[in-house]
Every structure is written in structure tokens, then in C-alpha cells.
């Protein structure tokens, strides 16, 4: 495949499934630009922008920032990309059916299509233990037990329906997210080959 061809991958999964971790590796390996809505939001928070001030309390409670803000951020990232083709890896977006519809519209507008949606599957005990470990290592303000519990609930109610959405469209690739980072990466590479 020539690098001028468009490729759009998205990584889905519950909080702590390894999306951010795998997204960085996958983007490097396939020469894609990583677009992480979580990273973009944290960047706004740390710069103290109006958007960041609005998002901070929502993120700290483990809720989802509005579709309007998120879709606006992704749209500007796509508009500001360096290459003619659309070669992106979406990390943590879409997270609601409304965002998934908006992504379809955006990709049509930019002349690209979704290549695959990779779902990382990890059981809840392991998710909680990873996030509490990260709380120790990095002190992220949404990695405390109460917020983690809410993030899991929000994932089940608002994001899990996207599994069917992408399954029905023949785009879903499920991957076991347990094991070492390298093992999980090898599984992802295999389902995309």
C-alpha cells in the first residue's frame, strides 16, 4: 500500500484497555497520525483554554465531554493535517453513536472511509487494577476509584452500543487485550493483516 493511500483506523475499548498505549505503537508502525481526543482534552486543560476549563470538571467526574466539542476538535485536526491523504488513527473517538455518525460524515467530506475498528477486550478487575496503578505512577485526576467506576458505567451505557454499530458494518476486529503490551500489539497487527 502506498503511503499516499488513505487509512483510517479506530481503537475502542473500556477505560484502561490499553488504547493510548497501543495507539502510539500502531501509529508509528503504519505511519498514521494519532488523534487522541483524551490527549487533546488534557492539552486544553493544561493550557487553561476556555474549552479546557469547561472539560476539566466533566473529565474529573468521569463523564463524556459533549459531542459538539469533541467533533469540532476532530474536525480541526483533520482540516489541519499535513498530507493530502487521510492517514489517521483515532484513539478514544468515537465514544457515542452521535460521534460515530459525525465521523462517517467527516470521512465522507474528506474523501476517506473507515478501514477498521479495533476493539480491545479486557475484564473489569484488570481494568481497575491498571488504572489504580496509573494513579500511583502518574496521578491523573480521573484515575481515582469513584471516577473509574463512573467511567466504566458511562462506557457500558454510551460507548458499548458502538460495538454492534461497527459489527453490523463489517468493520469490527476484536482483540484480547490481556497480556504484555507486545503480545497485544502482535494480535492487533494480525487482525489488520
Active site residue 95: yes
Q: Which of 44, 56, 87, 130: binder of ligand B4P (CB under 6 A)?
A: 130
Determine how many CB atoms are found less than 10 A away from the CB of residue 132: 15
Q: Which grid cell sits at 145? A: 476509584
Task: Identify which range of 2-10, 62-70, 78-86, 109-117 contacts ligand B4P by CB under 6 A.
Answer: 62-70
Give the Cα separation of 125 and 147 in Å (integer).
Answer: 15
Interface with ligand B4P: number of residues (CB under 6 A): 28
Give the Cα separation of 179 and 106 in Å (integer).
Answer: 35
Q: Which grid cell sits at 183? A: 503480545
Active site residue 140: yes
Q: Which of 9, 38, 187, 188: binder of ligand B4P (CB under 6 A)?
A: 38
| Residue 159 DSSP symbol | I
Give the Cα separation of 30 and 24 in Å (integer).
Answer: 10
Asked if residue 44 binds ligand B4P (CB under 6 A), the reply is no
Question: Least distance (Å) from ligand B4P to the CB of residue 9?
Answer: 15
Footprint (CB under 6 A) of ligand B4P, residues 131-170 = 134, 142, 151
Footprint (CB under 6 A) of ligand B4P, residues 7-36 = 15-21
Q: Which is nearer to ligand B4P, 21 or 115 (CB)?
A: 21
Give the Cα separation of 127 and 140 in Å (integer).
Answer: 15
* Catalytic residue positions, numbered: 19, 95, 134, 140, 151
Amino acid at each position: 500500500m502506498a503511503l499516499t493511500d488513505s487509512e483510517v483506523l479506530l481503537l475502542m475499548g473500556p477505560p484502561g484497555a490499553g488504547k493510548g498505549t497501543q495507539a502510539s505503537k500502531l501509529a508509528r508502525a503504519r505511519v498514521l497520525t494519532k488523534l487522541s481526543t483524551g490527549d487533546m482534552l488534557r492539552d486544553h486543560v493544561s493550557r487553561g483554554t476556555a474549552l479546557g476549563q469547561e472539560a476539566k470538571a466533566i473529565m474529573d467526574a468521569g463523564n463524556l465531554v459533549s459531542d459538539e466539542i469533541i467533533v469540532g476538535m476532530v474536525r480541526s485536526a483533520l482540516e489541519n493535517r499535513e498530507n493530502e491523504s487521510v492517514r489517521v488513527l483515532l484513539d478514544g473517538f468515537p465514544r457515542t453513536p452521535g460521534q460515530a455518525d459525525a465521523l462517517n460524515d467527516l470521512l465522507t467530506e474528506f474523501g476517506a472511509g473507515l478501514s477498521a475498528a479495533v476493539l480491545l477486550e479486557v475484564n473489569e478487575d484488570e481494568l481497575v487494577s491498571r488504572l489504580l496503578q496509573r494513579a500511583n505512577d502518574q496521578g491523573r485526576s480521573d484515575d481515582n476509584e469513584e471516577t473509574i467506576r463512573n467511567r466504566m458505567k458511562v462506557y457500558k451505557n454510551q460507548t458499548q452500543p458502538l460495538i454492534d454499530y461497527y459489527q453490523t458494518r463489517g468493520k469490527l476486529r476484536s482483540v484480547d487485550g490481556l497480556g504484555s503490551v507486545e503480545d497485544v500489539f502482535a494480535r492487533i497487527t494480525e487482525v489488520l493483516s
